[in-house]
Amino acid sequence: MPNRRKASKKDLIIQKASSMFREKGFPATSMRDLAESVGIEAASLYNHIQSKSEILQEIIFRSANECNVHFDHVVSSPMPVIRRIEALIRFHVHMMLNRFDDYYVMVNEWHHLEEPYLTTFITQRRTYVQRLEAIIQEGVRSKELRPVMPYVAMLTILSSVRGLEFWHRSNKRISPAELEDNMVNHLIYGLKKN
Amino acid sequence: MPNRRKASKKDLIIQKASSMFREKGFPATSMRDLAESVGIEAASLYNHIQSKSEILQEIIFRSANECNVHFDHVVSSPMPVIRRIEALIRFHVHMMLNRFDDYYVMVNEWHHLEEPYLTTFITQRRTYVQRLEAIIQEGVRSKELRPVMPYVAMLTILSSVRGLEFWHRSNKRISPAELEDNMVNHLIYGLKKN
DNA sequence: CCTACCGATCGGTAGG
DNA sequence: CCTACCGATCGGTAGG
């Protein structure tokens, strides 16, 4: 049997937890609240998961893995620097739009991870941002980009995407496609030579 | 006697609370932790403050007021649209760099406000972003700016600044001035016609 | 998957 | 500003 997993109760618990961690934050979400949204008693949760912390770990490292897998894909594709950066921005916008709960929890609640997971996450994140910086650096050196500081451009790009939180909270008069294209253009135009 | 207030014990409590709310989040910060960092017993805090919630309110609405006051100042100054936007970006970068605890708590912990403060904050924030959108809209109409969607440009600008959180956590090899200029340029170049 | 329950900790109060 | 303490709620376990 290939990777075709069916959604287990554990998956349901994690999905509901992701939504609640996003809405109320990790510390403010109680296992009793979570149990109620799943439709069982709090004690019964522990037949499917080990602890509250384990749920947070699963949410965060699943999302982090998706980011890393996509990054590898971009690196292995033959594209000019500006296209690589565009592909990475679009990916993060997609995560924020389509995988909102999980991605938001990773970005906003990671500091509630316990050791050794906290250190692992911080290390992974540092590696990720350094790889992105290296791509920007390459573009600056080859003069495809304006002479920006790669570190600052990386911060600007990665944090911009967090603003899409407010689109989710809004009445959504703007389409996801418009949102994506406008944000990508703003950030890319800010890097390109003209 | 003019506005020259001396730093009271209440100010000290709020300052320490702001730092702890930023580090650990509002729900994960206990009044006992806070009392210890101030150097008194938990019960003694209540001679200076009414409740944990009140502290959060003070931190957030102080910062929000600063943002509104600065915005009024920018609106009343005769400057081209692009300079107004630049002044607003620089202000938010300064808040993130120099008033890190308070500003971070406002941006990241506002959803822990209780009613009616929560509604008040959300309303104030909506007004603020709509005023910023209106400035961008004006620039698009007058063709000073590229034909961006003001809503998306506003989200991109305001959320970019949040990335400076990672500069605070870093070894700070980049100076605040370089950080500010690079972020401003990235965001402004993305709006300007060339 | 439930009932019943544990020790720990929470925000906050009484009284001095 | 402290000691002593309150009821509520927390994450989690025992036992079936």
Terminal Cα-to-Cα distance of chain A (whole angstroms): 53
Q: Does B149 touch chain A (CB under 8 A)?
A: yes
**How confident is the model over B42-66, as pLDDT tens digits?**
999 999 999 999 999 999 999 999 9
Q: If pLDDT is split at 50, 70 and 90, which confidence band does A3 have? A: very low
Through-space separation of residue A44 CA and nucleotide D14 C1' in angstroms: 13
Stretch B15-24: mean pLDDT, rounded? 98
Stretch A24-48: mean pLDDT, rounded? 96
Residues in chain B: 194
Please report residues of A whose CB lies closer than 8 A to that of B163. 155-156, 158-160
Contact A17, A38 (CB under 8 A): no
Q: Which residue is nearest nucleotide D1, judged by alpha carbon to C1' distance?
A: B44
pTM recorded for the entire structure: 0.94
Long-range (24+ apart) CB contacts under 8 A made by A74-81 are A75/A131, A80/A144, A81/A135, A81/A136, A81/A138, A81/A139, A81/A142, A81/A144, A81/A145
CA pair distance A191, B193, nearest whole angstrom: 13
**Amino acid at residue number A6:** K
Q: Does A44 touch chain B (CB under 8 A)?
A: no
Taking CA atoms, A159 is separated from B71, B100, B164, in Å, by 23, 16, 9
**How confident is the model over B138-166, as pLDDT tens digits?**
999 999 999 999 999 999 999 999 999 99
Q: If pLDDT is split at 50, 70 and 90, which confidence band does B3 have? A: very low
Nearest nucleotide by C1' position to the B27 CA atom? C10
Task: Check residue A193 and give its pLDDT.
Answer: 79
Which bases of chain C are under 7 A from a protein CB atom? 1-5, 9-15
Q: If pLDDT is split at 50, 70 and 90, which confidence band does A192 have? A: confident
Q: B38-58 burial string, b = 16+ CB within 10 Å, else e?
A: beeeeeebeebbeebeebbbb
Task: Check residue A6 and give its pLDDT.
Answer: 64
Name which of B24, B148, B187 is nearest A156 (Cβ-Cβ). Answer: B187
Q: How many CB atoms lie within 10 A of CB B19?
A: 18
What distance in Å separates residue A107's CA from the closest CA in chain B?
11
Mean residue pLDDT across chain A:
95
Residues in chain A: 194
What distance in Å separates residue A137's CA from the closest CA in chain B?
14
Q: Which alpha helices (H) appear in B99-171, and where do they start and end?
A: 100-109, 117-141, 150-160, 165-169
What distance in Å separates residue A8's CA from the closest CA in chain B?
31
Q: If pLDDT is split at 50, 70 and 90, which confidence band does A29 have? A: very high
